[in-house]
Structure 1
Amino acid sequence: MKGSRLHVTRICVLVGMFNFVLITTIMLIFKDTMKLNNLVVHPPWIVQYLDPSLGMLDSSGRYVAHVHSVVGSNWIKLSKRALSLATHASLEHLHWVAAIVADWPGPVSIALFVPDIEYHLATTYIAYLQTCYPNIQQQVSFHFLYPVDRPAQLFSEDDLKDVALECSISPKKVLEQLLTHRPLDLLTSWREQLLYPQNILRNIARKTSPTTFMMCVDIDMIMTSAAMNEQLEVFLSRNSTGGVRCAYVVPVYEIHSNFTLPPRNKKDLLNLVAEKNARPFHIKVFAKNQGISNLNRWEKLAVRNEVRVAYNVTKFKYWYEPIYIADKSAPLFDERFIGYGNTRNTQAMYFQSYEMFLNQWTFCVLDNVFLVHWGFQQLSQHSAWRTEQINKNNKLLADFFREMAVRYDADPFHFIKKFKKKSPQVSVVYNPSKVYSQIRARLEANLSFPDLANSTSGPDLVFFHMGLY
């Protein structure tokens, strides 16, 4: 009798366990189906009014920042890793976040520019990203920035009721759909000409990065291999700078837009280079961007299954704009430069790297690790208002170089003398070849850079010496 009861009990337990597993499985399947087919509902803790009184003013008093407004659920745990990514974006480019975290295992700190009702659109999109891409919910923290005179706003309850944010649709398509709800009068009145405070955003992303090392990248620059990323983590864990001013340069390559599968390692990348389907970033737009990283040499090095320092940059040249990994002792970006022109390149070594150069930093080029940017970059034309922004930034250069000379007691390239003359001005250019000689003469008269006088590289070089990027 006891044996029969025990047998029945065991059967009941097994049936109960089976039912539990069955119900759990059905719930998971239902949950995934709901994700793919139903609208995404905001978690109530995301879409909330941002009170400017709870934010922080930037040093100019023109912008308000709210840091860690949305925090990754694994943020504290991930802060124990060696490296985090720091980046920034406006609403139009936020779809790249999904690509960033696809293979990246560490924390990502993203500063978003969200003036007016773009705040509500951004938080709506973040809710979609967190629901459909668990890595974003776990790894990414978002920070918001807006102008004092364009504080974050919310739509009315009915304005977005018909928005369908489905996980089965690509992030870019979802964002394009969401952007159609941005009022047309907003774009035609003030939004298109609103200055984009790149360096303020970069500094917010950097300061909120939780790890020993950080890498400040553009939001469309992607680390494409989980294995490569872990090798980089191992390298950094073993190579603490220990007070040595060392910046690890990560090569950046453009990949032809016809390719949808990214190179997973250096061998894959070199195959694409050989087929002319990959090339160094900005090589056709501004070759000096990565010029002294000497990527021709980098490409000839033997492929290995470890990240290491390949060689050091030994001869500095201005206009060098590397993407690098450094600890938090690296100088911040200069926030006086707003909008387009002279933004990233005011941080360090003649322009981007100038201050680090004066401060005795060494740039060490890493091997067997790289970033990719989709699409070959071409020289673009600029509207009159964008050109005006560039000219305003150019006028600030003399003050910048004077401050650097005082701070570091050095002006090795005699920039103060060069900028005593009138700062170069830029005109809207529609046919570069017809005005090249005029622009060249203006630049030589104003700046007298020694290598420009003998340059034969054509209008691409001229535009970038003028700050048109």
Structure 2
Amino acid sequence: MKRAAICLLVFLIMFCVYNYYQISIRTSKDGKVITTSRAIPTTTYRKKFCIAFNVTKASKSFREEGLEPITLATHSTSQYLNILDQQLQSWDSPVSLALYIDRDSSGALQYVLDLHRCDRSTAEKLSVHVVYQLSAFQNKCQPLQAVEQPIPCANFTQQYRKKYLNSLVPPFGIYPINVMRNVARRGAPSTFHFISDVEMVF
């Protein structure tokens, strides 16, 4: 009985360490480890989630003539990022996106970083806030490591985007919808918010 408990404990520790490092680094297909480019500060929410605000930040204020814009506060996983382009085209004000990831869907972070870097309209509108679950045996969140693997913008075509998004695995587990809505609102760059699920295109 004692031996089984020790084996289980060792397994859980190894699983947690693996889970933690999958957020921090990613391995390419040829086996080379790609190191991180920058550490993004995170906050712990309800002792269960880690939140990195403004992983990308909208470059335009949309405050023409001193008027306060209405920010579209929305949320998503990697599974619905294909709808994000439609949202950005139809909404002519800031967009605050709370993105839920886990170790299997952390490639979604690379996608939004590339999208923000390569698309001027996206860079003007989109602020992204990343949410992921706090690993077991951790009592506080570590900085989120943004992976450096930029693609040349000339290659960041619609065909590439579609193929890349199709390769991402949605996060496993229960989706914390209320947490995601609150993060999108809190990260919004304006006082007024229009809260919506990402599938609802206006």
- Pick the TM interval, shorter chain: 0.5 to 0.7
Moved over 6 A (4+): 153-157
Residue 88 of structure 1: which of 56, 75, 90 is its match? 75
Residue 102 of structure 1: SS of its match in structure 2? Answer: helix
Query: 1:197-251, CA deviations, whole angstroms, 9 ceiling, x for partnerless residues?
Result: 111010011122233321111101112xxxxxxxxxxxxxxxxxxxxxxxxxxxx
Amino acid at match of 1:71: K
- TM-score of the superposition, structure 2-length normalised? 0.65
Query: Would you say the 8 A contact 1:166–1:174 is kept in 2?
Result: no
Are residue 144 (structure 1) and residue 130 (structure 2) matched? yes
Query: Would you say the 8 A contact 1:71–1:142 is kept in 2?
Result: yes
Task: Give the 3 Å change call, closer, same or farther, for CA 155–102 of structure 1 in structure 2.
Answer: closer
Aligned counterparts of 2:164 and 2:71: Cα–Cα separation in 1: 27
Amino acid at match of 1:115: D
Q: Tell me: higher relative CO, structure 1 or 2? Use CA pairs within 8 A at least 6 residues apart.
A: 2
Residue 124 of structure 2: SS of its match in structure 1? Answer: helix
Amino acid at match of 1:110: L
Tell me how large the CA RMSD over aligned residues is. 3.2
Task: Give the 3 Å change call, closer, same or farther, for CA 48–155 of structure 1 in structure 2.
Answer: closer
Query: Would you say the 8 A contact 1:110–1:143 is kept in 2?
Result: yes
Larger Rg: 1
Query: 1:339-360, CA deviations, whole angstroms, 9 ceiling, x for partnerless residues?
Result: xxxxxxxxxxxxxxxxxxxxxx
2:6 match: none
Aligned counterparts of 1:83 and 1:72: Cα–Cα separation in 2: 13
Are residue 58 (structure 1) and residue 45 (structure 2) matched? yes
1:70 match: 56
Residue 221 of structure 1: SS of its match in structure 2? Answer: coil
Aligned counterparts of 1:128 and 1:153: Cα–Cα separation in 2: 15
- Unmatched tracts of structure 1, length 5 or more: 1-45, 224-469
Residue 197 of structure 2: SS of its match in structure 1? Answer: coil
Count of residue pairs the alignment pairs up: 158
1:15 match: none
1:172 match: 162
Query: Would you say the 8 A contact 1:117–1:153 is kept in 2?
Result: no
Task: Give the 3 Å change call, closer, same or farther, for CA 127–165 of structure 1 in structure 2.
Answer: farther
2:184 match: 205
Aligned counterparts of 1:209 and 1:156: Cα–Cα separation in 2: 26
Q: Which aligned pairs between 1:326-345 and structure 2 lie closer than 5 A?
A: none
Amino acid at match of 1:138: E
Name the structure where strand makes up a greater proportion of residues: 2
Query: Would you say the 8 A contact 1:71–1:140 is kept in 2?
Result: yes
Residue 105 of structure 1: SS of its match in structure 2? Answer: coil
Aligned counterparts of 1:55 and 1:77: Cα–Cα separation in 2: 28
